[in-house]
Structure 1
């Protein structure tokens, strides 16, 4: 495994979901390497505060784009407002689920919004911003996924399914683009100390038992190993390895994931 020199990808990076948590950590890591950053998120005050901080710290250009990535036309709009930039890095980090409940206890519209944000929008982002990278022969795409992708589990039906989509998409694009000069990394997160994770735990009245990964450690590791795809499992002794469920049958893996969900201890699941 070799450290990646990001300047080879191009002068601009886009971080979708870049206002806090892992997203803003990616933005800091990108800017610290001298790459200009486009921050994309819904909340304008948080977005602008993050941008001001990054400009002051690293002296790079920062452009903010206030978008709801689950809305129709959001990715076309993002492509339009960045059409004057050479984007060499795309980090798609949006898509946490702050409310973990049984499948039928959540509104259908909430499920559909999650699927659009975590599947349709991710695919569209990879297509719109990956195509110019492939044409130029340089670039990198990071799709942030989750340990929920490894197997189904109680209260994880829609979320886990979307994260499995992201993981397979990342691995497939890596296979297609690996000879084109474009690196693709599916970043699998475990339990990480992010605002969305805290909101989910607080809503469920759960304690913060166990160690949570630092978002800046997560981002730094991923940015250093962009060229070591297709998959990077943060916190694993074998980060380029396979599922932590190993030789377990699919049934046993699902039961293990479900027990973790019931206990509020989703080992390997970042939400």
Structure 2
């Protein structure tokens, strides 16, 4: 018997950035409900290991697509690779920024790569995979964004801008597609226990990370509230509400989110 999730969003789900962390958690949650999954990521061996685990555990079909989502033809390639599948759920989870450094301390190609992955690829995926959902009158799209979208901040100007793009895109698509049977959710995450986040902490030389959200809990909450779009702020007392910085002026919000980086810079300058 099909589960409610499979009836609403099956028979296939695509998880972009599905090899570990939140993406892998989504893959397991979706597969546990009887939905076949397509895992998309750059690292082939990690991707195949995750696929083998899901097949063995849940008995669903699993396909893998080794793909760098920052290259210009990535999503057209993904569409070709899944052309024979009826995709009812698409989760775009790729797009972490491993190292937060000042804008001019990264080369231009790195910035452009991040924009292609977090903006152009997300928009193209929504277009290519959302159109058949809207035509069928059934489907779901989850865009994983970040608290960095709420305001600009030092050392993450481009990353925050791309995540704001994802947030606004999801809200707009929700408004357009809600009457066409397609659920759209911007999943706003804070500090989450993922390999990419821990790599970022290590690269910056930060100490213990403190309390982190569990990826399994994140994926479970997002799927449970997919129909409650356009936004779900994981861990917030008001998860469907607005920006937690809304009471501040834009200037004060930027200064606040830049505070930790500024403090660290000042300490380095004293050494």
> TM-score, normalized by length of structure 1?
0.94
Partner of 2:192: 192
Alignment of 1:1-271 (within 5 A): 5-262=5-262
Going from structure 1 to structure 2, the CA distance change for 1:69 and 1:209 (only over 3 Å counts) comes to closer
Q: What whole-Å deviation, never above 9, does each CA across 1:226-260 have from its counterpart, x for those lacking one? A: 10000000010110001011311000000000013
Q: What value does the CA root-mean-square deviation take over the aligned residues?
A: 1.1
Paired with 1:263 and 1:39, the residues of 2 have a C-alpha distance of 40
Name the larger-Rg structure.
Answer: 2
| 1:98 and 1:199 in contact (8 A); partners too | yes
| 1:36 and 1:61 in contact (8 A); partners too | yes
Going from structure 1 to structure 2, the CA distance change for 1:34 and 1:261 (only over 3 Å counts) comes to farther
Going from structure 1 to structure 2, the CA distance change for 1:38 and 1:256 (only over 3 Å counts) comes to same
> Which moved further from structure 2: 134-143 or 72-81?
72-81
Q: What whole-Å deviation, never above 9, does each CA across 1:52-77 have from its counterpart, x for those lacking one? A: 00011111000000000001211011
**Residue 263 of structure 1: CA displacement?**
5.3
The structure that is helix-richer by fraction is: 2
| 2:47 and 2:64 in contact (8 A); partners too | yes
Give the unaligned 5+ runs of structure 1: 265-271
Corresponding residue SS for 2:226: coil
| Number of corresponding residues | 261
| Deviant stretches of 4+, over 2 Å | 4-7, 260-264
Paired with 2:132 and 2:262, the residues of 1 have a C-alpha distance of 44
Give the unaligned 5+ runs of structure 2: 265-271
Q: What whole-Å deviation, never above 9, does each CA across 1:168-189 have from its counterpart, x for those lacking one? A: 0000000000000000000000
> TM-score, normalized by length of structure 2?
0.94
Partner of 2:268: none
**Residue 208 of structure 1: CA displacement?**
2.2
**Residue 18 of structure 1: CA displacement?**
0.2
Paired with 1:164 and 1:31, the residues of 2 have a C-alpha distance of 29
Partner of 1:267: none
| 1:7 and 1:33 in contact (8 A); partners too | no
